[in-house]
Structure 1
Amino acid sequence: MNPRSGTRHTCGVEVITTGQPDDQAFWIDIGAAAQSGQFALCLLFFSQDTFPPALITGKMATFADGLPYAACSTAGEIGAPDGDTGQCLAVLFPKKHFLTVPLRIDGITSIGFDRIVTQVKEARQTFENASAQHHNGSGEGDVFAICLIDGMSVVEEMVTAALHWALEDIPLLGGSAGDSMRFTRTSLVLNGEVGDDCAIVIFFRSTVPFKIFKTDNFVPTERKLVVTRSDPERRIIYEFNASEAAAEYARAVGIDPGALSPMSFASHPLVVRVGGEYYCRSVQKVNPDGSLSFFCAIDDGIVLTVAEPTGMTRSTNTAFENVVAEIGSVDFVLGFDCVLRRIDAQNRQATQRIQKIYQKYNVVGFNTYGEQYLSMHLNQTFTGIAFARAEPSAGEQS
């Protein structure tokens, strides 16, 4: 497993990683950051196979008591020096450049749209009040919001829509928590409280210029699948074109039904056309009865198109180059990358090329069970926020 490593970016954000749950130096470093009083928030992305949630909360209580933090389990981590997974990543945001206000929304599968909107609006008012006092009332900097959602909740679309409604002009991005492709239970933590069936929303005001962006690399084909029987609440499709879903999907992509796997779903995504654009509706798994579970919302009558991923390296590199053209040199990127993109990169032997791009732009984040971007819940997409690099002032450590 990866040894501990740490990086401090020009804006003062610190990133610390480890692949060893017994790495005391990792927690000591986070503790030192907490004791300095210089940091507003710590984000933690962790493999719960290696780092159980109880370990996270226990270590943070011991070493970093008083430091606000939000954490979620992943389907893989982004940011270890060698690109390995099974990690715990800590991203520390300095008070000098960031104001943060977190909110945890519990019971998202039953709470309903209106109550989510109410909670987010109340938190937004708290954030705006804090912003009015920040930087001596100058209101300096721009705002955005990060969302971490239980990736097994099957309500990400509703939650994202409610957040977008309540946030109004505040841009949103984020990712659905994972559990290393076990599809059993994910974990989210806010300041020591662990749970699932919840979402964590974090308001940020940043004096560091930033750019929110997304990229994908799928191209629609002429092959169509019509949903003829489904369970929308559980995101399960039983039939395509009045035939068993798994068998019909396998026929459409040219694979034996018995050979369907996450690699198949990554290499042959399904997309739906909305407003002239195509969005992924990725398959999560095959069920014993031949039905298919999905990562995104589905319903009877939807026409899904078989797509083919193409040029992931090229499209990813172009997206980052476009960000540089807009904001200049990139300091680091907080990224949420669909786990199916990672699987597809492995399948096409493009993993090292993608990792080089992520390392070049200092991407830190995690592989998700879905991505949030503005008002949309997406699949097989990278969503990120890039922070501009600034030359450190005299006496500052870079």
Structure 2
Amino acid sequence: MNPKTGTRYACGVVVLSAGLPDEENFWTEIDAAARTGRYAQALLFFSQDQFPADIIRNRMAHHADGLAYAACSTAGEIGGSTEGTGQCLAVLFPKDQFSISTVRIDGIRSIGFDRIVAQVKDARQVFDADAANHTTEAEQGDSFAICLIDGLSVVEEMITAALHWALDDIPLLGGSAGDSMHFNKTSLILNGDISDDCAIVLFCRTAVPFRIFKTDNFVPTERKLVVTRSDPEQRIIYEFNAAEAAGEYARAVGIDPGSLSPMSFASHPLVVRVGGEYYCRSVQKVNPDGSLSFFCAIDDGIVLTVAEPTGMTRSTNEAFEGVANEIGPVDFVLGFDCVLRRIDAQNRQATQRIQKIYEKYNVVGFNTYGEQYLSMHLNQTFTGIAFAQQAAIAGEKV
């Protein structure tokens, strides 16, 4: 492997990355890895501005025919050997350590809760039956599920709840696909079939010790906004406190309405209290009529509280240290990080500090339009799965 494009970790997972100058090396390494027949599944995260979905599909068909893969477009990529966003990342899971199967749920805007549950339960039965017929170490391990969802579908809450119900005791995490903050159309690919309006679920079993975790860094203030007019199906709020939404939000956070931007929303998130805990309901954008579009579910009568992010570096480091204390040295982390956390880190000049934490724990993943964790669809949160270093084989550059 080319040292500029790839890293192999102790569990045998290989991560490849490329920006446009390294693109040929990247596909050469994908080709070489696929030819070994060692890998059960690949996950690809890509900037569709630089790597359109049809290019990904055509390149995979040419260089990795026969390698199962799931892919999604992002709002930014995390990890790899290329600096910044605008990359394509590939995470290759070895057959001797991971048993993986996939199912794609199409038409998620209209399919309904019960049909999703039935489809995922059927897929899980096949996954469990396959494991029962094998005796490899991977098939006798513990299970988790990863979901990749169209981040513009506006139904992630329903999808996540249905998946959680169908998966029962299998923990779920994942991320909503993005499109580099254009808010136009995302792309998801399963084995060469490109779509949006869908969710891809990966059933995974491994003997490698792992932990699923999340972290956020916002604290509620005393400032309240009551939703008095909204369109829940489109996640649009027209009025807070019987006044124009954008203007009322701007007043509550002390910003001129004309200067509202993604940085404003990242620095002044809105949260809702559910069962004694606060969950973020992040603003996506201001619309021309002064309404606000959201990344998460909203409805009339909901009381939203203005929150202030605090101590992102500290809270992120504590979360990763806590996982390492549980499972020992961390091999790598598959992570789903809200794009608004990245923007807030940039706004507070904390990007390098967060990046150092991610580099220390070998985080690979993408910036999302929303995060999934167990039964919840979240915003302004990092969700991840940390894998332990099993043996004395430290993460090796290859």
Bin for the TM-score computed over the shorter chain: over 0.9
Report the residue type matching 1:309 in the other structure: P
The alpha carbon displacement at 1:344 in A equals: 0.1
Partner of 1:143: 143
Contact kept? 1:131, 1:137, Cα under 8 Å: no
The runs of 5 or more residues in structure 2 that have no matched partner are: none
Partner of 2:14: 14
Quick one: structure 1 residues 371 and 387, their matched pair in 2 at CA, closer, same or farther if it must change by over 3 Å?
A: same
Distance in structure 2 (CA, Å) of the matches to 1:83 and 1:352: 12
Partner of 2:195: 195
Give deviations 1:327-350, integer Å, cap 9, x for gaps.
000000000000000000000000
Partner of 1:234: 234
Partner of 1:280: 280
Contact kept? 1:99, 1:134, Cα under 8 Å: no
Spell out the pairing of 1:322-333 with structure 2 (5 A cutoff).
Answer: 322-333=322-333
Distance in structure 2 (CA, Å) of the matches to 1:137 and 1:359: 29
The alpha carbon displacement at 1:233 in A equals: 0.1
Give deviations 1:277-334, integer Å, cap 9, x for gaps.
0000000000000000000000000000000000000000000000010000000000
Distance in structure 2 (CA, Å) of the matches to 1:133 and 1:387: 25
Contact kept? 1:83, 1:355, Cα under 8 Å: no
Give deviations 1:217-252, integer Å, cap 9, x for gaps.
000000000000000000000000000000000000
Distance in structure 1 (CA, Å) of the matches to 2:239 and 2:137: 58
Distance in structure 2 (CA, Å) of the matches to 1:53 and 1:323: 35
Quick one: structure 1 residues 137 and 56, their matched pair in 2 at CA, closer, same or farther if it must change by over 3 Å?
A: closer
Contact kept? 2:272, 2:281, Cα under 8 Å: yes
Q: SS in structure 2 opposite 1:301? A: coil
Partner of 1:40: 40
Partner of 2:305: 305
Report the residue type matching 2:300 in the other structure: D
The alpha carbon displacement at 1:134 in A equals: 2.9
Contact kept? 1:220, 1:307, Cα under 8 Å: yes
Distance in structure 2 (CA, Å) of the matches to 1:241 and 1:89: 44
Distance in structure 2 (CA, Å) of the matches to 1:4 and 1:103: 33
Q: SS in structure 2 opposite 1:115? A: helix
Partner of 1:168: 168
**Does 2:265 align with 1:265?**
yes
Distance in structure 2 (CA, Å) of the matches to 1:362 and 1:75: 19
**Does 2:30 align with 1:27?**
no
- TM-score normalised to structure 1 length: 0.97
**Does 2:316 align with 1:319?**
no
**Does 2:370 align with 1:370?**
yes
Contact kept? 1:132, 1:138, Cα under 8 Å: no
Contact kept? 2:146, 2:202, Cα under 8 Å: yes
Report the residue type matching 2:195 in the other structure: G
Report the residue type matching 2:236 in the other structure: I
Spell out the pairing of 1:1-398 with structure 2 (5 A cutoff).
Answer: 4-20=4-20, 23-81=23-81, 83-136=83-136, 139-392=139-392
Contact kept? 2:231, 2:299, Cα under 8 Å: yes
Contact kept? 2:73, 2:187, Cα under 8 Å: yes
Contact kept? 1:4, 1:19, Cα under 8 Å: no
Quick one: structure 1 residues 239 and 397, their matched pair in 2 at CA, closer, same or farther if it must change by over 3 Å?
A: closer
Give the stretch that moved more between structures: 383-392 or 355-364: 383-392
Distance in structure 2 (CA, Å) of the matches to 1:275 and 1:372: 18
Distance in structure 1 (CA, Å) of the matches to 2:136 and 2:46: 36
- TM-score normalised to structure 2 length: 0.97
Quick one: structure 1 residues 83 and 353, their matched pair in 2 at CA, closer, same or farther if it must change by over 3 Å?
A: farther
Quick one: structure 1 residues 13 and 86, their matched pair in 2 at CA, closer, same or farther if it must change by over 3 Å?
A: same
Distance in structure 2 (CA, Å) of the matches to 1:397 and 1:104: 33
Quick one: structure 1 residues 138 and 333, their matched pair in 2 at CA, closer, same or farther if it must change by over 3 Å?
A: closer
Report the residue type matching 2:144 in the other structure: F
Contact kept? 1:35, 1:64, Cα under 8 Å: yes
Contact kept? 1:223, 1:252, Cα under 8 Å: yes
Report the residue type matching 1:339 in the other structure: V
Report the residue type matching 1:351 in the other structure: T
Give deviations 1:128-161, integer Å, cap 9, x for gaps.
0111123359952100000000000000000000
Distance in structure 2 (CA, Å) of the matches to 1:234 and 1:53: 26
Contact kept? 1:4, 1:26, Cα under 8 Å: no
Quick one: structure 1 residues 139 and 85, their matched pair in 2 at CA, closer, same or farther if it must change by over 3 Å?
A: closer
Contact kept? 2:269, 2:307, Cα under 8 Å: yes
Contact kept? 1:210, 1:387, Cα under 8 Å: yes
Give deviations 1:352-385, integer Å, cap 9, x for gaps.
0000000000000000000000000000000000
Contact kept? 1:150, 1:197, Cα under 8 Å: yes
Distance in structure 2 (CA, Å) of the matches to 1:281 and 1:21: 38
Distance in structure 1 (CA, Å) of the matches to 2:345 and 2:109: 32
Report the residue type matching 2:343 in the other structure: I
Q: SS in structure 1 opposite 2:12? A: coil
Distance in structure 2 (CA, Å) of the matches to 1:137 and 1:160: 29
The runs of 5 or more residues in structure 1 that have no matched partner are: none
Contact kept? 2:96, 2:137, Cα under 8 Å: no
